[in-house]
Amino acid sequence: MRRFLSLTTLALAGALGATAAHANEVNLYTYRESKLIQPLLDAFTKDTGVKVNVISASSGLEQRIKTEGANSPADVLLTVDISRLEDAVQNGITQPLNSKAVEQVVPAQYRDPEGHWAAVAMRARIVYTSKARVQQTAMTYEELADPKWKGKICIRSGQHMYNNALFAAMIVKHGEAKAEEWLKGLKANLAQKPSGGDRETARDIAAGKCDLGIANTYYWALMNDKEADKKAWADATKVILPTFQGGGTHVNVSGVALMKNSPNKANAMKFIEWMVSPQAQQMHADLTYEYPMRAGVPANKTIAGYGELKREPMPLAQIASNRKKASALVDKVGFDN
């Protein structure tokens, strides 16, 4: 049955690939919720006349595109986190963008050194704290291992890609040995076994199970502005933008990659370059609550309310190259146990 399904998928992909190159369209594979980014896609079509066909999934897109092979209809992969961008490259499904328009907008540390992907927006890994129980308004990532926070921190699984990237950044910043020591200290300060997601971190702080937690920037804004059933969790917490000692706040990205066998390459590049345009950058910021990549485009007002984001200048490629070491350290210290 698996072989039959695989062959059927390839046949369908071949049919799509054969016709897609003759149509004024682009095929977008994405991990973003299609309803979240649909206004962005509609604006692109209105501006360019190019129709966007969307395939959205929660996992497995890189493997699907690889299986589709030369007949894949995929033109562009739009995804979150450096891990998925790098996975696409490692699966051999991308090709260099070779775009001056992208290079002029996106700083080098937020692009693949070989040009296979580029960021279109940023998110930061930050700290939510209890309004009632934490008076501190500034913090370093290193301080999260301070014994003064023993039994007071909540976090999702250490193997989740958002935490993996932060832990990999700690390796880049301080070396593997010190990162391991820090991870042991952070584990010792946990109030409970790592679980749930970033929203649940805010929930548990509101419930008094912990005093602070590690989460992404946009979740707090979504709970505060869009998710009425979770507004109380945002009301009970506040946001701190932590920094590395002597550095800035850890940043991850949403990004785009051009697929190796793109049947609509011209339209794909039109889409990728449009995504870093002033209009798209502002729309992306307001739709997803991420930080714009383009200089001069303001962040959404809720996100801007956190304070100035002083970005850690560390190249994302260095973080990507330390992902396996970070994952191994999580297991070594028994972080999720």
How large is the average pLDDT for residues 132-155? 98
Among 18-32, 179-193, 219-233, 255-269, the range scoring the smallest mean pLDDT is 18-32
DSSP state letters, 88-102: HHHTT-EE----HHH
Beta strand 76-80 with 117-130: parallel, antiparallel or unpaired?
Answer: unpaired
Longest dimension (CA), the chain: 63
Give 21's pLDDT tier (boundaries 50, 70, 90).
low
Task: Tell me which of 293 and 11 has the higher pLDDT.
Answer: 293
Q: What percent of the chain has pLDDT over 90?
A: 92
Beta strand 25-30 with 51-56: parallel, antiparallel or unpaired?
Answer: parallel
How large is the average pLDDT for residues 45-62? 95
pLDDT at 149 over 70: yes
How large is the average pLDDT for residues 310-318? 96
Per the CB < 8 A criterion, the answer to whether 299 and 144 are in contact is no
pLDDT at 289 over 60: yes
Structure tokens at 215: 């989460």
Residue spans of alpha helices (H) in the chain: 2-20, 34-48, 61-68, 82-90, 100-105, 161-174, 176-188, 198-206, 217-225, 231-235, 265-274, 278-288, 301-304, 316-320, 323-332
DSSP-assigned letter for residue 291 = E
DSSP state letters, 112-138: -TTSSEEEEEEEEEEEEEETTT-----
pLDDT at 33: 87
Amino acid at 93: I
The string of pLDDT tens digits covering residues 247-266 is: 999 999 999 999 999 999 99
Q: Sign of the C-alpha dihedral, residues 58, 59, 61, 62? A: positive
CA-to-CA dists, residue 10 to 15, 60, 69, 298, angstroms = 9, 15, 8, 43
Structure tokens at 124: 């930061």
Residue located via tokens 């560390």: 314
pLDDT at 34 over 90: no
Domains and CATH numbers, the chain: 2-122+252-301 (3.40.190.10), 124-250+311-332 (3.40.190.10)
pLDDT at 209: 98
pLDDT at 48: 97
What is the reported pTM?
A: 0.91
d(CA 310, CA 240): 12
pLDDT at 238 over 90: yes
pLDDT at 8: 30
Give 19's pLDDT tier (boundaries 50, 70, 90).
very low
pLDDT at 84 over 80: yes
